[in-house]
Amino acid sequence: MLALFLKRGHGGGSNPFQHLEKSAVLQEARVFNETPINPRKCAHILTKILYLINQGEHLGVMEATESFFAMTKLFQSNDPTLRRMCYLTIKEMSSIAEDVIIVTSSLTKDMTGKDDNYRGPAVRALCQITDSTMLQAIERYMKQAIVDKVPSVSSSALVSSLHLLKTSYDVVKRWVNEAQEAASSDNIMVQYHALGLLYHVRKNDRLAVNKMLSKFTRHGLKSPFAYCMMIRVASKLLEEEAGQLLLSLKISMQLLLCSYEGCFRAISTLPSLIATLAITTLLKTGSESSIDRLMKQISSFMSEISDEFKVVVVQAINALCQKYPRKHAVLMNFLFTMLREEGGFEYKRAIVDCIISIIEENSESKETGLSHLCEFIEDCEFTVLATRILHLLGQEGPKTNNPSKYIRFIYNRVVLEHEEVRAGAVSALAKFGAQNEEMLPSILVLLKRCVMDDDNEVRDRATFYLNVLEQKQKALNAGYILNGLTVSIPGLERALHQYTLEPSEKPFDLKSVPLATAPNAPVAVVKQPEKVAATRQEIFQEQLGAIPEFRGLGPLFKSSPEPVALTELETEYVVRCTKHTFVSHMVFQFDCTNTLNDQILENVTVQMEPTEGYEVIGYIPAKTLVYNQPGTCYTLVALSEEDPTAVACTFSCMMKFTVKDCDPNTGETDDEGYEDEYVLEDLEVTVADHIQRVLKPNFGAAWDEVGDEYEKEETFTLSAIKTLEGEGVSELLTFLLAPFRSLTGRLLGQSCSYCDNKLAQASKTQKSIPSPMGTRLDCGRQESILHSTVSGRQTFPEAFQIPPEDLCLLQDVSFLVHPP
């Protein structure tokens, strides 16, 4: 029998669709257009199409769309097998073909028909081609299908709802009542699917999940699958409760870890991972008094773990330094001992990062940390670390009490190291000469020796710095040695590339490049990609530059960090405004969203009326606003030329547009429309919109560069600050626009202790605090602007910029409490 079976061709595992060709199958698909329809032949062709798709064969959009439209004609046949094949093909081709919603009416008809064999598959196919914008149109049918008495129809609707939950959560969560009704079904699969839908809708609400479990536990379930799911949900809740219980035992665990034997046994565990976790746990839970003992214990075990785990320990020590800054001496010595030991690049970089962070946060540890780093670069094999330390020495070394002691370490790098490190050492030497006049002759001698170096980069740097320092001008030192370029490097690259594409007789203007602004928040250290991404302001510069009306406005000075909401989120129109500041103009970008699905807006503009000073020049409308699709319109405003200090202003805003009604289901729009308007909230322009943070690495040099003739001193009464106890000093400095890195406040009095006592005694009754503030401005017209902002709590960093390129620096803030 077996031989006869193989002889007839029924065995051997042959695949009848193995040698199919896409072009031949698509050619056969034209049979769908024939009349009368041959169900058996058409079903066979649909099987071939499904086979090609599942085998990874790529169908073009035009090919898939043409076959899909031809297949829709097969709904004229009532053959059950052919109809089921159509449902499967619709689901597979929904992501390939275009305009698949054409079969919505046919699927809806089958979904609400009397033939139960068609209803379940029709529900699944309809949900596959329906997006979030069309879901509301079939919401009534889905609710009816969920509570249908036919199990296959109800299960199909529940499973399809689970898939729709990922993209249309707000719509599906309204079907909870129907899902609860389906959960009481006698069919085991319907009950299981209903329970799954209820859990996924409520999984972010712990209380709702607990109530659901209590309800079904009390009433019982008929489906074993539903019981299994309840067990999984209950197990997950128990794990979360156990985790919260452990977190509540933090104080008890800290007391238990104070045992000496417990600490020793944890560290002496053989696996390196466990030992590392034990060390970091001790460092995180230890008190300030136990740091000395912990450092002695940990030092004997550091040699037994690998570099990967040593990095984790260094990170824990870094967190400990921030927690207990008074223990920086002990921690610094421990880090230096680790730095002298053998280790890889990542391990040494982690230690250097930790030491640098201690230096930046604790001024008392600066000289100790710099000395440790100087000894490290004497025998450092990593170029990146050596150049970074040299850069740090150039920044912080001249500010120490004895800066000359670092010159020997830096010049040794010029003599002994390779070209990258030598170039960094030359730059560091130049910074010492630019900030210390007593050392300048010695620095010039060293730079003259570097001029004869073998490397081009080292020679060029030495020659450049030598010529700048010989001029003995503070402005040149600040601009070319200490602060350097303050423009955005990616922006400079794009501007130079654009300049080469369009030949011009005019020289390249550096003022056309956006400034390198300081970050608004600390940024985590991550590995930089090969291509530098454009900043937010550079993206706005490119977008606005593409509009012809804005090309003559010059470089973009500043864009508001966050859009201003001019409407509530629940209103029919949502409008947000981003303010762009130029030298003599402002551009207001309005991002508008139409939340009405039965309307289309055309020629949308935001009409603005200023209170004073500003002049509206023109509007650029958004051509069309369809449902839930954002659009952008612009308003161009000129700044006041008569009064340059009148920068604050309030605009009354009104959105004007043409409304055309449309059908939400078909999208057909009426030919005629009518004019309408919508009142928005007022928009304020403040001084902060005209001031930008700029990078000034060397604050002292920037202060000296401005000059004494632009210095101004004012006195303010700050009634909002009631006391100077605790954090009162920090709050006062923040209120007075003080940059903490380069500015220190001082208490005026005979001595610190006497002044402290006097402050503490007077603060109980003091109602106002007069405070003199020294300010230097590069342009006299800015004085009233800056000093008028103190009462409005405008907070600025250590350097400001007011267009066009006016520099304001604050220094030497003092406060004196007068007796009542």
pLDDT of residue 614: 84
Domain 403-482 has CATH 1.25.10: yes
pTM beyond cutoff 0.75: no
Task: Give, in order, the Cα–Cα distances in Å from 120 to each of 36, 188, 192, 323, 345.
Answer: 27, 17, 17, 63, 62
Residue 685 is inside which H or E element, if any? strand 683-685
Q: What is the sign, positive or negative, of the torsion defined by CA atoms of 556, 560, 566, 569?
A: positive
Q: Name the residue with tokens 């309307």.
A: 599
Task: Give, in order, the Cα–Cα distances in Å from 89 to each of 51, 65, 66, 722.
Answer: 10, 12, 13, 75
What would the DSSP string read from start to end of 48-100? HHHHHHHTT----HHHHHHHHHHHGGGGG---HHHHHHHHHHHHHHTTTSS-G
Domains 20-245 and 403-482 share a fold: yes
Phi, psi (rounded to 5 degrees) for 36: -75, 165
**Torsion angle (degrees, nearest 10) of CA 349, 355, 361, 367:** -140
Q: Name the residue with tokens 């390129």.
A: 805
Query: Both tokens of residue 241?
Result: 């409760």
Domain 20-245 has CATH 1.25.10.10: yes
Amino acid symbol at 792: G
Amino acid symbol at 321: C
Name, in order, each residue with C-beta under 8 angstroms of 694's C-beta and a sequence gap of 6 or more: 486, 515, 516, 517, 518, 799, 800, 801
**Angle of the 139-146 helix axis to the 116-129 helix axis, nearest 10:** 140
What would the DSSP string read from start to end of 480-523? IIIS---B-HHHHHHHHHHHHHS--SSPP-GGGSPB-PPPSS--
Query: Both tokens of residue 520?
Result: 């608004």
**Burial grade of 571 (CB within 10 A; 0-12, 13-18, 19 or more):** exposed
As a whole number of Å, the CA-based R_g of the chain is 37
Domain 540-689 has CATH 2.60.40.1480: yes
pLDDT of residue 792: 36
CA 615 – CA 638 distance, rounded (Å): 5
**Angle of the 440-450 helix axis to the 419-435 helix axis, nearest 10:** 160
CA 72 – CA 90 distance, rounded (Å): 9
CA 462 – CA 464 distance, rounded (Å): 6
* Residue burial 91-112, b: 16+ Cβ < 10 Å; e: rest: bbbbebbeebbebbebbbebbe
CA 297 – CA 308 distance, rounded (Å): 20
pLDDT of residue 583: 83
Q: Name the residue with tokens 């710095």.
A: 465
**Angle of the 536-545 helix axis to the 489-501 helix axis, nearest 10:** 30
Q: Name the residue with tokens 């967190």.
A: 319
The SS3 of residue 391 is helix
Amino acid symbol at 352: V
* Residue burial 251-269, b: 16+ Cβ < 10 Å; e: rest: eeeeeeeeeeeebeebbee
pLDDT of residue 701: 62
CA 138 – CA 157 distance, rounded (Å): 12
Asked if 51 contacts 18 with a C-beta cutoff of 8 angstroms, the reply is: no
CA 279 – CA 272 distance, rounded (Å): 11
The total number of residues written for the chain in this structure: 820
Break the chain into its structural domains and give their ranges.
20-245, 249-377, 403-482, 540-689, 696-815
Q: Nearest Cα to 193, choosing from 202, 212, 206, 180?
A: 180
**Torsion angle (degrees, nearest 10) of CA 426, 430, 436, 438:** 70
Asked if 440 contacts 471 with a C-beta cutoff of 8 angstroms, the reply is: no
Which residue numbers in the chain have pLDDT < 70? 1-14, 242-276, 286, 300, 303, 484-486, 512, 514-534, 644-645, 693-712, 714-820
CA 456 – CA 480 distance, rounded (Å): 19
Asked if 85 contacts 51 with a C-beta cutoff of 8 angstroms, the reply is: no
Asked if 414 contacts 465 with a C-beta cutoff of 8 angstroms, the reply is: no
